[in-house]
Amino acid sequence: FAFFKLTVTCRLAVSNRVTPCAVLISGLTIERFCMTGGKSPVGYLTAYLTNLYLSADSEKVQEAIEAGIASATMFTANKDVAYSDTQLRVAFDGDAVLFSDESEQIFKEQGLDKFFEHEQLNENKPLAQGPLKGFLEDLGKLQKKFYAKNERLNCPIRTFLVTARSAASSGARVLKTLRSWGLEIDEALFLAGAPKGPILVKIRPHIFFDDQMFHIEGAQKLGTIAAHVPYGVAQKYQKSA
Ligand SMILES: [Mg+2]
């Protein structure tokens, strides 16, 4: 995001019909550019050192995720919401977004009680990384530019974890996982199954990433720009639902 005039840059690739990205890239000079005559640009993304790929085309996004690139399908928000123009605010779901879907699989296949049991048993075992972990890491590198003597100064980037996990029973594992990766998140919100839309209204992120369409739809209804990460066991359940 050259917008922040940093020496470290974050490479954002967007493809056709991604109007919400204007919010993210207003004032940004686009220098690397490719025209692919309707063919998928996904094969070029690694060569372009892409940190995040956003598209309205879910098939291309799926292809990018499979190629190991942080990627999401964009949807337009239903309402006009005012966003901060001095701070980039990025909100992430946890399971199957920052983290792998290993715990989500337990939840979907064996239910909530087994999930709680599993997470408490494995509290000290870090989760494997999910498709957007690298992007959080990239944002963290930019944030480090705003540290002086180990104290964070007023930072133009703020990150949020917005998870359906509950603090008491299953939250500890995700916080310990982030710590084991050496990654910080500015705010962690544990909703214990409550809808994400209302809390996102308060956060006002420029973009919110989730792997489950019902969270995307809930966010959109209340005006949040949401992006779907097509990864993990929830995709199978969405298709059969
Ligand atoms: Mg999830």
CATH of the domain at 51: 3.40.50
Give the percent of the chain with pLDDT over 90: 54
- pLDDT for the residue 102: 92
Answer yes or no: is pLDDT of 190 > 90.
yes
Higher pLDDT, 36 or 216: 216
In a domain, residue 80? The reply is: no
**Could you tell me the distance, in angstroms and rounded to a whole number, from the CA of residue 232 to the centre of ligand 1?**
8
From the list 57, 80, 85, 93, the catalytic residue is: 93
* Structural domain includes residue 159: yes
Q: How far is the CA of 197 from the centre of ligand 1 (A)?
A: 14
In a domain, 82, yes or no: no
Residue 195 within a domain: yes
Phi, psi values for residue 163, rounded to 5°: -120, 150
Do 115 and 210 reside in the same domain of the chain? Answer: yes
**Distance from residue 103's CA to the centre of ligand 1 (Å):** 10
Distance from Cα 151 to the centre of ligand 1, integer Å = 31
Q: Is the pLDDT of residue 42 over 60?
A: yes
Quote the ligand 1 centre to 2 CA distance (angstroms).
30
CATH number at residue 185: 3.40.50.1000
Residue 149: is its pLDDT beyond 90? no
This prediction's pTM: 0.87
Give bridge partners of residue 208 from the DSSP assignment: 91, 226
Residues 187, 108: one domain? Answer: yes
The verdict on 175 and 65 lying in the same domain is no
83 in any annotated domain? no
Centre of ligand 1 from the C-alpha of residue 203, in Å = 18
User: Which residues fall within 8 angstroms of residue 55, CB to CB, at 6 or more apart?
Assistant: 14, 15, 16, 18, 61, 64, 71, 73, 74
The verdict on 102 and 56 lying in the same domain is no
Are residues 13 and 115 located together in one domain of the fold?
Answer: no
217 C-alpha to ligand 1 centroid (Å): 14
Same domain, 45 and 130: no
pLDDT band at 181 (very low <50, low <70, confident <90, very high): very high
- Residue-number span of the structural domain to which 32 is assigned: 2-74
Tell whether 59 and 97 lie within a shared domain.
Answer: no
| Contact indicator for 232, 106 with CB cutoff of 8 Å | no
Residue-level pLDDT at 16: 56
Q: Which of 46-50, 96-100, 190-194 has the highest mean pLDDT?
A: 96-100
**Does one domain contain both 236 and 117?**
yes
pLDDT > 90? residue 168: no
Residues 87-107, mean pLDDT to the nearest whole number: 94
Which of 45, 74, 103 is the last residue before a domain boundary? 74
Identify whether 210 is a catalytic site residue: no
Q: How far is the CA of 7 from the centre of ligand 1 (A)?
A: 33
Residue 103 and residue 31 share a domain: no
Number of domains in the chain: 2
